[in-house]
Chains A and B, each alone.
Chain A
Amino acid sequence: MIANLIDYLSDRLPLVTKVCYVAMAFIVFWSMSVDTSHAHTWAEKMIPGFWSLFGISSCAVVIMVARWYGKSGIQTREDYYDN
């Protein structure tokens, strides 16, 4: 059942992607209307969609740092420790 649902969605990937973009736009739009009195810093109040920017930049930083760090010699062949 689940497998069928996934197949159904993956057959309509462009539509699913569009729905996701709309959802993201809605989330950002909604965040602007939320009461910011619980914000921790001024930046959160001043920058619209602060946490959206924070989310995407965090994601990019983690991916890029992991990639750079891995390539710097940390990622190595699997039999490295074998005798």
Chain B
Amino acid sequence: MTISFMHPALIMIVGALLLPLVRGPFRKPFMFLVPLLTFIDVIYLSQHPGTYGIFQFMDWELTFGRVDRLSMIFAFIMALMAIIGTIYGMHVEDEWQHMAAWFYVAGSLGAIYAGDFITLFVFWEMMAFASTFLIWARKDTEALEAGYRYILVHTFGGVVLLIGFVLRYQATGDLSFDLLNVQNPEIYTWLIMIGLMLNAAVPPVHSWLPDAYSKATAIGAVFMCAFTTKTAVYTLIRSCAGFDVLIYLGVFMAIYGIIYAVMENDVRKLLGWEIISQVGYMVAAVGIGTSLAINGACAHAFAHILYKGLLFMAAGAILTTTGRQKLSELGGLYKKMPGTMIFMLIGGLAVSGLPLMSGFVSKSMIISAAFESHILWAGFALTFVSAGTFLAAGLRLPYLLFFGKNNCSEETWEKAQDPSWNMQLAMTIGGFLCIFIGCYLPFLYNMLPYTEISYHPYGAYHLSETIQIMAFTAFGFFMLRKYIMPKNTISLDLDWFYRMGGRAFLWTVKNPLQYFDTALSKFYKSVGISCLMETSKFWSWFDWNGIDGVVDGTARCVQAIGRRVTIVLQRGQIQQTICYTVSFAAVLLVAYVWL
């Protein structure tokens, strides 16, 4: 059966282009309608798996619509998050921000449905550029600078990916975006993996994430926390499943992220570090590569988008109303923002994997996959991180924001209140889904790519394990919390190298290179110019006295001879002139005849 294929990304793009034209009372319904239509389109496509939208472009076959179970689950959650994010940002008048967000969603959906590397690359870059505008939309110097860093890092990643798949095309003639030969990786396999890894914020190419997400606008961060990293996780599942090195990188990033999250003072940066930590689970699952692990990675990405979206929405609500996002400038807000507190708590508990919450049913799948594949160290390390996650996002963050010591200034305290209805509605949807997924397993589990796997998170042993870990982590937090109180500091990370590297470059240009340039100009002025002047003086003299002398001399000679001839031969007597002329003609004639 052939079905009419309408690419969901196209709906978002057309919607984004029409948005500035839709004004007044039509704006809000239109903003709700476009992501809703996209979502309906995604659901419609999931009923009709297959390959659509194949175009011939020069020598290459481009596939825009590969609809299978893996692309379905990711497209579903992306489209759903687009609805939630758009509702959250509905009060914002700045249409450029919404357009950027929708182009960004379109990029993500396009990358998810892409069947070849060229299509993937086009949408990949679309995501990077569109999301940069979500950072710049904040319009202060910090955001501007962070946006430039973000786009430069992502351009670098894009180039690495491009080189990777071009080399692969050269070697194999294959552009299809499928599982790479990860058992015998070639240089291009590594390059493609690094290109994709950069968007998943895997160390050492991760520093862009907390930097950019903490500087973006409130709605910008809500969109960004969902799309870039999880689209990258999708592409890693598609191309690098079973690549061993990803287990090590994933576990490392899970631990690394959580250590930084515990040290962090900036709320949204803290949540950014949390993303790195949680994406670490997914990356490790991709590395494990078994059916259960891949299902776990998909489930966790799905759950993660919702609870992380919820956390960023709550943080955005605090930022929007108080204008503050540092823990050291907030605190005790439960009196002023009880609604936001509940959503932040739901998000924090969901990310920590509390039973009956979404994180519990997704994260445990990955940990079980690690244990079942007999990678015990990874299983224990990821369990260790889940304790850390609870500590950072489930305990420390809500404690410092809503309870604990009130560090708010009078002005902040005055401004603090629960946000507008649309932000609360978006948070309600997110919060509901976080709990719904944890309570009603078939909703998420029926969407997972490998249907033959059955997994039951609510075993007594697993419940007892999780509850023990959480209870005693909470106990540890209350005993040791004085060591992790917020301080007015920033934490140095690997972005130091390019931030200070850029500065070193600037210094090199400003100092040694500038000095050299100045010295060269001085040298030129004193030596070069005078040399040139002397040389040109010589040539001027030579021209005047030499060349002009020869030319003028010749002219003077000819003039003198002519004058002499005139005096001798043209005396004015006609018979004498005729005699000379006839004699000359005779001489010529004789010469002509005889010679």
Q: Which residues of A contact B (CB under 8 A)?
A: 1-3, 6, 20, 23-24, 27-28, 30-31, 34-41, 49, 51-56, 58-67, 69-70, 73-78, 80-81
Contact = CB atoms under 8 A, between A and B. Distances in A.
Interface in B433-477: 459-462, 464-477
A58 B384 contact: yes
Contacts of B474: 20
Q: How large is the interface on B (under 10, 10 to 19, 20 to 34, 35 or more residues)?
A: 35 or more
Contact of B472 (A35, A41, A55): A55
A51 B491 contact: no
B388 A62 contact: yes
A41 B473 CA distance: 21
A53 B384 CA distance: 11
B263 A70 contact: yes
A2 B258 contact: no
- The 6 tightest CB contacts between A and B, nearest first, are A59-B476, A55-B472, A58-B387, A55-B469, A51-B468, A66-B262
A54 B387 contact: yes
Nearest to A28: B468
B495 to A, nearest CB: 9
B483 interface: yes
Nearest to B266: A78
Given A55-B473, A76-B489, A2 B464 contact: no
Given A60-B476, A67-B483, A75-B489, A3 B468 contact: no
B471 A55 contact: yes
A55 B388 CA distance: 9
A66 B484 contact: yes
Given A31-B465, A52-B471, A75-B487, 19 more contacts: A24-B472, A27-B468, A27-B471, A39-B461, A40-B371, A49-B468, A55-B472, A55-B476, A58-B387, A59-B388, A59-B472, A62-B258, A63-B391, A63-B480, A64-B480, A66-B263, A66-B484, A75-B490, A78-B488
A30 to B, nearest CB: 6
Contacts of B48: none
B417 to A, nearest CB: 13
A74 B490 CA distance: 8
A38 B459 contact: yes
Contacts of B392: 62
B489 A77 contact: yes
Given A35-B460, A75-B491, A77-B489, A62 B468 contact: no
A34 B489 contact: no
Contacts of B471: 23-24, 27, 52, 55
Contact of B379 (A40, A51, A55, A76): A40
B342 interface: yes
22 contacts: A1-B338, A24-B471, A28-B468, A31-B464, A39-B461, A52-B471, A54-B387, A55-B473, A55-B476, A56-B472, A58-B383, A58-B384, A59-B473, A62-B388, A62-B391, A63-B391, A63-B480, A69-B259, A69-B263, A74-B263, A75-B490, A77-B489
Most chain-B CB neighbours within 10 Å: which of A34, A49, A59, A80?
Answer: A59
Contacts of A2: 334, 338, 341-342
